[in-house]
Amino acid sequence: MTVDKKQGYGADSIVVLEGLEPVRRRPAMYIGTTSQYGVNHCLNEIVDNAIDEALAGFCNNIQVVLNENGYLTVFDDGRGIPVDKIPKYKTSALEVVMTNLPAGGKFQVGAYKVSGGLHGVGASVVNALSSHFIVEVIQNGQLYRQEYKKGNPVYPVKKVNQSILNFTFNKGTAVSFLPDKEIFKETIEIQYSILKKQIKERAYLIKNIYFKILNNKTKEKLAFYFDGGIISLIRDINRGKKVLHDPVYIHKQIDDKEIEVAIQYNDSINEHVFSFVNVINTHEGGTHLTGFRSALTKSVNNYAKKILSEKDIGDSLTGDDVKEGLAAIVYVKMPATNLQFEGQTKTKLGNSEVQTVVQQAVSEYLDVYFEENPKVGREILAKIFLAQKARLAAKAAKEAVLRKGMLEGATLPGKLADCSEKDPAKSELFLVEGNSAGGTAKQGRNRKFQAILPLRGKVLNTERAYLDKVLSFKELKDLVIALGMGIGENVDYQKLRYHKIAIMTDADVDGEHIRTLLLTFFFRHLPDIIVKGHLYIAQPPLFKIQSGKKIHYAFSDTERDGIIKSVSEERSNAPAIQRYKGLGEMNAEQLWETTMNPDNRILKKVMIEDAQDADYVFTMLMGDEVPPRKKFIVTHAKLANLDI
């Protein structure tokens, strides 16, 4: 979808609604948060302005530069923000765009048909939240510049002879800003891994646009260019998985809305569906995703009724049956003036009419596709009926457990040493490897707020395990009961009994394996615990170093060497060094002092920076396919630190 290139884009395309002052007073209203994520959001707003030019057909190159001095710079070779004066305001359009909320071409019908920056407030909000902001525009071979301090112009827009931003395109816009430390008190550094993912994601969605990232701090250079669009993205999502068929690609224009959908089933039991509107990742879904799910379920049921008897079909397939092994992209492009998002951070689409058009496009295409591709249709049906069978078995197993009141916390596991604290926010649960270490942990803990659940042996690998199998494994069932929030479709996060859950295993290969198995369980079956920041890895010391009566603990080889050096300088006698291989080698007092005492311990929070990459790693390491795992082991063998 593009704009008529003959149509004008001048000062009369800019509309002003109100001033800029509210932004600095309540920044979270405009960027969601003033944490590190907010810094990333600011950069995204500037990148999305460049992407709007690409979507309109005027930009081919977008470059992001992370400077050593903390400035974040975005270049594009689009038309360049208009610099002529708006008669009504007697001010350059560039200054109006950068200093008013909201103001921009997105409010003028025809200036942008498709836009990622919904409210037109992106640049002005970033300007308001920056201690220093520079914009340069090249139009008709002439370079213009304006600078701002905390949203206020330092001087009017002026012609200049040389770029101070190293602007090398022969047309377009360059924006460089330094996030204000008064606003972003936590940090003004972006989260680089998230930036890379977002830029790569956008390169998939806007095919044939060249994206470049230059990180001057690490000297890393990255470039992204995809000509396959969302088909390339769906293949990337299914990387490392066994797919059942080639991607199904749906592309349809309905009135002023362009719908693109890609579908490809794999042999896993997990679902990976991503939705976008005008290149914005709608993490919380919305009406476009609802329309897609409804159409897919309906089309699959219609096809099943056509080729199977009533006896073979049994119960109608549900949305939950259709989800298993589904990888899909739902991408809608539509006029920016009609968009209805929930909040400036654009995480959920609200346009009710979009549900209808997506449902129509997907239903019509799939009904014909299944008829013309019966082999693929039957393959998908077989996968879905298997999922239905497993779902019903899991439901029966779960209901059997529920009837006994086991998942409701009525009967806590006998081996759980619970804490007396009733406030989940103050309560901690340590998952300890083995009964021996569990006994030590029970003796060393603070009984008021710390609970201990010993786990005997290695738990089930739940990468490909259905819920009935999970609940039939005693150690995992005990864990679910102890957590109190249930599992599966009826999980109730509000009932979680501990807001800190720490995995505490031995510092050896077996301990690391158990930790990986537990991480797999949480990632696949209780992901909210990770997403909401409740899962941690305890860090018991690796070494005890004793010199005379003094005892030191080291958590790494480097720390051990430093302690030995400092002790040797103080005393003539060499210290005794003990390498801890198991938690049971420490007594209760030592375990408390080094690993469980909030004043001294180290707990590593488990976080998901990139769900897609995390999914790939878990599939590769814990799944059925051997070749990818073997390749990973051979590639990283030299990095392994084995205690043989």
Residue at 206 is within a domain: yes
Same domain for 199 and 326, yes or no, is no
Catalytic residue among 433, 468, 475, 478: 433
Q: If you average pLDDT over residues 25-31, what whole number do you get?
A: 86
Three-class SS state of 342 = coil
Burial of 458 (0-12, 13-18, 19+ CB in 10 A): middle
Whether pLDDT at 408 is above 60: no
Dihedrals phi, psi of 581, to nearest 5 degrees: -105, -15
Whether pLDDT at 517 is above 80: yes
Measure the CA–CA gap between 615 and 387, rounded to whole angstroms: 20
Same domain for 326 and 205, yes or no, is no
Q: What is the CATH number of the domain that holds 54?
A: 3.30.565.10
What are 220's strand-pairing partners? Answer: 215
What pLDDT is stored for residue 340 in this prediction? Answer: 86
Range of the domain at 278: 230-397
Catalytic residue among 147, 267, 408, 508: 508
Same domain for 270 and 373, yes or no, is yes
Q: Among residues 187, 209, 224, which one ends one of the domains?
A: 224
pLDDT band at 626 (very low <50, low <70, confident <90, very high): confident
Same domain for 210 and 251, yes or no, is no
Q: Which residues contact 311 (CB under 8 A, 6 or more apart)?
A: none
Q: Among residues 224, 254, 275, which one ends one of the domains?
A: 224
Same domain for 251 and 197, yes or no, is no
Residue at 459 is within a domain: no
Average pLDDT for the chain:
87
Q: Among residues 397, 426, 457, which one ends one of the domains?
A: 397
Q: If you average pLDDT over residues 545-574, what whole number do you get?
A: 80
Residue at 513 is within a domain: no
Measure the CA–CA gap between 382 and 315, rounded to whole angstroms: 15
Three-class SS state of 517 = helix
Same domain for 101 and 48, yes or no, is yes
> Between these two residues, 538 and 615, which has the higher pLDDT value?
538
Same domain for 213 and 253, yes or no, is no
What pLDDT is stored for residue 634 in this prediction? Answer: 81
Q: What is the CATH number of the domain that holds 289?
A: 3.30.230.10
Residue at 117 is within a domain: yes
**Span of 104-108, 331-335, 563-567 with lowest mean pLDDT:** 104-108
Residue at 109 is within a domain: yes
Q: Catalytic annotation on 53?
A: no
Q: Catalytic annotation on 508?
A: yes
Q: If you average pLDDT over residues 156-160, what whole number do you get?
A: 96
> Between these two residues, 426 and 409, which has the higher pLDDT value?
426
Same domain for 266 and 149, yes or no, is no
Residue at 425 is within a domain: no
Measure the CA–CA gap between 302 and 365, rounded to whole angstroms: 13
Same domain for 380 and 267, yes or no, is yes
**Span of 5-14, 346-355, 442-451 with lowest mean pLDDT:** 5-14
Measure the CA–CA gap between 599 and 548, rounded to whole angstroms: 25
Q: How many domains does the chain have?
A: 2
Q: Give the angle 449-451-456 at the CA atoms, nearest 5°.
A: 165
Extract the tokens encoding 197.
Answer: 């993912």
The DSSP H or E segment spanning 233 is helix 230-237
Q: Do residues 34 and 186 lie in contact, with contact meaning Cβ atoms separated by under 8 Å? A: yes
Query: pLDDT (tens digit, 9 = 90+) per residue, 436-458?
Result: 889 999 999 999 999 999 998 88
Q: CA 27: distance to chain centroid?
A: 22
Helix axes 352-372, 287-307, angle to 10 degrees: 30
Whether pLDDT at 511 is above 70: yes
pLDDT band at 164 (very low <50, low <70, confident <90, very high): very high
Measure the CA–CA gap between 638 and 238, rounded to whole angstroms: 28
Measure the CA–CA gap between 284 and 409, rounded to whole angstroms: 30
Q: Where are the alpha helices (DSSP H) in 36-169?
A: 36-55, 93-99, 122-128
Q: Catalytic annotation on 506?
A: yes
Catalytic residue among 408, 510, 559, 585: 510
Same domain for 262 and 208, yes or no, is no
**DSSP codes of every residue in 375-443:** HHHHHHHHHHHHHHHHHHHHHHHHHHHHHTTGGGTSS--TT-B--S---GGG-EEEEEESHHHHHHHHH
Residue at 131 is within a domain: yes
**307-315: long-range contacts (C-beta < 8 A, 24 or more apart)?**
307/374, 307/377, 307/378, 307/381, 308/381, 314/388, 315/388, 315/392
Q: Alpha-carbon torsion 269, 478, 461, 238, what sign?
A: positive
Q: Catalytic annotation on 220?
A: no
Residue at 451 is within a domain: no
Same domain for 275 and 384, yes or no, is yes
Measure the CA–CA gap between 350 and 361, rounded to whole angstroms: 18
Measure the CA–CA gap between 21 and 10, rounded to whole angstroms: 26
Measure the CA–CA gap between 604 and 450, rounded to whole angstroms: 17
Same domain for 180 and 109, yes or no, is yes
Extract the tokens encoding 264.
Answer: 């490809």
